[in-house]
């Protein structure tokens, strides 16, 4: 109940959007807004605590992606995996990371590829150590079910496809 005694509706940022056929989707969107901003703040502060202040959230994501499995990555593949529409944003992040000695670029045929350096790999390991201590341990302390987290992640990935399709449809109007 609210202070005035009326029932509290869904927790959303835009009541006019929640007034439609699926108010729960507005609740999810508000949760994604809050989570997205909190996650970006976390990544930047965790990376600073790991020893590399000043990186953007996208640069941090690119570094972790390039470090993933220790294989060279094409810019297009990094963009695809991270769902970044503008490859030039990924390219800018790669240039920043290369200037810091965290990645290096090369060519595979006509395509630009990116590989992590030893300094980049070491930074990712320090980030993981900070993450384990400051984020993973407290989340485990809540008693959250890891299987449930995986289910939520799968649902978010599936919904991202629905949002992408809706964006394409809106662009055609």
The predicted-structure confidence for 123-160, as pLDDT tens digits, reads as follows 999 999 999 999 999 999 999 999 999 999 999 999 99
Residue 77 lies in a domain: yes
| Residues β-bridged to residue 106 | 113
Residue 142 lies in a domain: yes
Edge-to-edge order in the sheet of strand 73-74: 73-74, 111-116, 103-108
Residue 1 lies in a domain: no
Residue 154 lies in a domain: yes
How would DSSP label each residue in 92-124? HHHHHHHHTTSEEEEEETTEEEEEE-HHHHHHH
How many structural domains compose the chain? 1
What is each CA distance from 51 to 42, 119, 137, in whole angstroms?
14, 11, 20
Domain span including residue 71: 25-168
Which CATH number fits the domain that encloses residue 76?
A: 1.10.10.10
Residue range 18-70, pLDDT digits in tens: 888 999 999 999 999 999 999 999 999 999 999 999 999 999 999 999 999 99
């Amino acid at each position: 109940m609210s202070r005035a005694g009326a029932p509290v509706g869904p927790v959303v940022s835009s009541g006019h959007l929640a007034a439609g056929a699926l108010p729960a989707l507005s609740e999810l969107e508000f949760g994604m807004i809050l989570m997205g901003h909190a996650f970006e703040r976390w990544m930047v502060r965790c990376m600073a605590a790991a020893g590399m202040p000043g990186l953007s959230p996208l640069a941090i994501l690119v570094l972790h992606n390039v470090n993933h499995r220790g294989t060279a990555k094409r810019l297009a593949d990094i963009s695809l995996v991270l769902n970044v529409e503008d490859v030039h944003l990924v390219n800018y992040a790669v240039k920043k990371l290369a200037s810091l000695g965290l990645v290096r670029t090369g060519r595979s045929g006509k395509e630009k590829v990116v590989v992590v350096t030893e300094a980049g790999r070491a930074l990712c390991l320090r980030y993981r150590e900070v993450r384990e201590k400051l984020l993973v341990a407290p989340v485990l302390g809540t008693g959250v079910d890891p299987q449930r987290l995986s289910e939520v992640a799968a649902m978010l990935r599936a919904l991202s496809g629905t949002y992408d399709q809706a964006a394409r449809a809106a662009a055609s109007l």
